[in-house]
Amino acid sequence: MAAAYGLYSHIQSNKRRSIALLLGLFFLVYVMVFAGALIGEALYYDASVDWLIRAAWRDLYYAFPWATGVALLWILIAYRYNQALIDAVTGGREVTRTEQPRLYNLLENLCISRGIPMPKLKVMEDGALNAFASGLNQKQYSITVTIGLLDRLDDAEVEAVLGHELTHIRNGDVRMLVIAVIIAGVIGFFAELVFRMLFESFRFGSSRSGGGSSSGGDSDRGKGGAFIAIIIGVALIALAWLLSVVIRYALSRRREFLADAGSVELTKNPDAMITALRKIEGRGELEGATSAVMEMCVDNPRSGFADLFATHPPIDSRVAALVEYAGGHDPGPIELPPPDETEGQGEQPDQADAESPTPALPAEPPATGGPASGPWGPHGRG
């Protein structure tokens, strides 16, 4: 594959890789079907491993259109209802300019400056610092922001976060990631179904038959390969599930760097993106959110064994990339006061205004041409 130079060529190169990964992810569905057929044949027939594998290939051939249809039906259902499910899990609600003028204006200005259709804007009543984009088409696209992020980030930083999520939409990342999650869900469903069938068969005893099958009679069937075939089938299922998880996470990790760069390209402010990441760092955990939702967020603090299953690159790596390639400045980890202190600080000016109805004036007014001139004259005092 040709090397990529520049932001947009990197985006196109990444799209090609992502499509290849999605095709590989869809291929894993058929691996799961083959593994299930192999286990089913082994549970029903006491035959040689070669015979059982040939029978499983035959089963896959006949099941291919059904497996494809079920997978596509699953995708269509998720296509229709994915946003409603996400909103139900996160509690996100759509807001208007009247409800959130600051947030609405920041997003609208970004969209107008680049001629981008404005996605829906949603808010979560959550104290965590995070945001995510979701949707599969222009009518569904939305950006959801937590109240915690709005309270703790300034306008430039919120704009940088919005630019990050808007870049995910522009680059097709949101659609790609949602489809990947859906296909991985199909694989997980098949895996659970096969394992349940396997456990039930062992629980109630095997029902192997000595009769023939569509693939031949007793003369070429052999014996003694059922246990090995079951081990092979279980191993294939486990491998397919593991690869589906790795592919999902690989899709997410690659795109975060490009989304950070896209935010800088939109806002022309690398420092705002860096300080936003530093403030979000370690504070983005959404209570009750599924792993699929956390994969879509600006940062996902959840990580797995040896960082293999981490869906996002470390904040330090993302900041280092912005410093090196965008000329930003890293202030290092940022300590934030507790939310209640922040809210109190935000209310102090209003309380001061309530206690002092008139603004503080200098001890002596500046020299003027006469007592009635300037803001300190009779009209100014009135």
Q: So which residues are the catalytic ones? A: 165
**Closest Cα partner for 42 from 221, 189, 182?**
221
Three-state SS at 144: strand
- Could you give the CA distance from residue 334 to residue 280 in angstroms, rounded to a whole number? 9
| Residue 357: other Cβ atoms inside 10 A | 6
- Could you give the CA distance from residue 102 to residue 157 in angstroms, rounded to a whole number? 12
In Å, how far are 35, 64, 81, 104 from 240, measured between CA atoms?
10, 17, 26, 43
Angle at 119 between CA 113 and CA 123, to 5 degrees: 115
User: Are the CB atoms for 147 and 127 separated by under 8 Å?
Assistant: yes
In Å, how far are 160, 212, 272, 343 from 346, measured between CA atoms?
22, 79, 21, 5
Q: What share of the chain is helix, strand, coil (3-state, %, to 5)?
A: 65, 5, 30
In Å, how far are 34, 55, 226 from 221, measured between CA atoms?
19, 10, 11
Please spell the DSSP secondary structure of 329-362, one letter per residue.
Answer: ----S-----HHHHHHHHHHHHHHHHH-SS----
Backbone angles phi, psi at 121, to 5 degrees: -115, 125
